[in-house]
Structure 1
Amino acid sequence: MKMIRGAVTASALALAVVAALAQGGPAAATEAAPARVDRSSCTHHWSGPQICIRMTGDALRTRVVGFWSNPPGSVRSRTTWLASDGRRITSVARATRVGKTVSFTWSGADYRGRKICVRFRGINRTACQDAPV
């Protein structure tokens, strides 16, 4: 049974290569899809605000979620933004409470090779994550 599965898989791969060659030539057959992204990090302080960043998607369209994981119950929203090399790279946004966190999601963008950091107004802690190359 294993041999049949292997033969079927090899046949399917061969057909995919032939189809790619027929549609776009050798470049289409060897062109790889952008790398998948699923990375996260948080500030690691035992007291005070804990800020986190999560990156998902692929290298060309990386979605970034910035969140404050332990805001006081009275905080319903907070201004946030993304930074790289100490400079803001997005417009300020309004992070809102979702359950126990205050968060905002930036839609997919190309951050390849950059260190992306999330900042929240009034909080001196920053969570950063290296984007894929």
Structure 2
Amino acid sequence: MHPVVARAAALASAAAVVLLATAAPATAAPAGAAAGRRSSDACTHNWSGPKVCIAIDGHDDWARRLTVTWTNPGKATRSTAVLHEGDRQVEVHERMTGTARDGRITAEWTDIEVAWGRLCGSFTDTPNVWACVDIHSGGVYSS
């Protein structure tokens, strides 16, 4: 399936299931590129609600660093980050307690294996707001 068609279908499906905002495009290697370090990031665009971002940096099927950030939490908010596989509520990896600093809450996982497909991040206090990146064969990441 052509990447643009696959992305459009995935976004339409995700929007019907959850309140998932379209992510801003980020750079990614072309599908035919040799295996190597890849990175991608995306943020939700829910201007009146929580803004959640996900960033992944890694090599092939391993994420050297995967970060989920809530950029506009309330001052007294403490929250736990959750990773989701695909557009499902299924959690992958362990939950990570977010660290509050500079008006943001950030959670980071290091050296984790990631499956091909969609990987999304959210916080326990933002259950319907997910930021997602797509992981293609050969470890190519896109948003």
TM-score normalized with structure 2 length: 0.64
Structure 2 residue identity aligned to 1:113: W
Q: CA deviation at 1:57?
A: 2.0
**What number of residue pairs does the alignment pair up?**
101
- Find out whether 1:70 has 2:77 as its counterpart: no
Render the CA deviation track for 1:52-107: whole Å, top value 9, x for unaligned. 100012123212100101111222x3111111031111122211112221011111
Q: Distance in 1 between matches of 2:107 and 2:99?
A: 7
Partner of 1:131: 135
**Residue correspondence of structure 1 range 1-133 to structure 2 within 5 A:** 34-62=35-63, 63-75=65-77, 77-85=78-86, 86=88, 87-123=90-126, 124-133=128-137
Report the equivalent of 1:16.
none
User: Aligned to 1:74, what secondary structure does the other structure show?
Assistant: coil
SS of the aligned residue for 2:108 comes to: strand
Q: Which has the bigger relative contact order, CA under 8 A and spacing at least 6?
A: 2
Deviation at 1:48, TM superposition (A): 1.1
Please tell me whether the aligned partners of residues 59 and 112 of structure 1 are also in contact (alpha carbons under 8 angstroms). Answer: no
Equivalent pair of 1:43/1:50 in contact (CA under 8 Å): yes
- Same amino acid, percent of matched pairs: 27
Structure 2 residue matching 1:131: 3-state secondary structure:
strand
- In structure 1, the gaps of 5 or more residues are 1-31
Mapped partners of 1:132, 1:92: distance in 2: 24
User: Match of 1:105, SS?
Assistant: strand
Structure showing greater Rg: 1
Q: How has the CA–CA distance of structure 1 residues 129 and 40 changed in structure 2, closer, same or farther, with 3 Å as cutoff?
A: same
Secondary structure of 2:125's partner? coil
Structure 2 runs not aligned, ≥5 long: 1-32, 138-143
The whole-number CA distance in structure 2 between the counterparts of 1:116 and 1:98 is 25
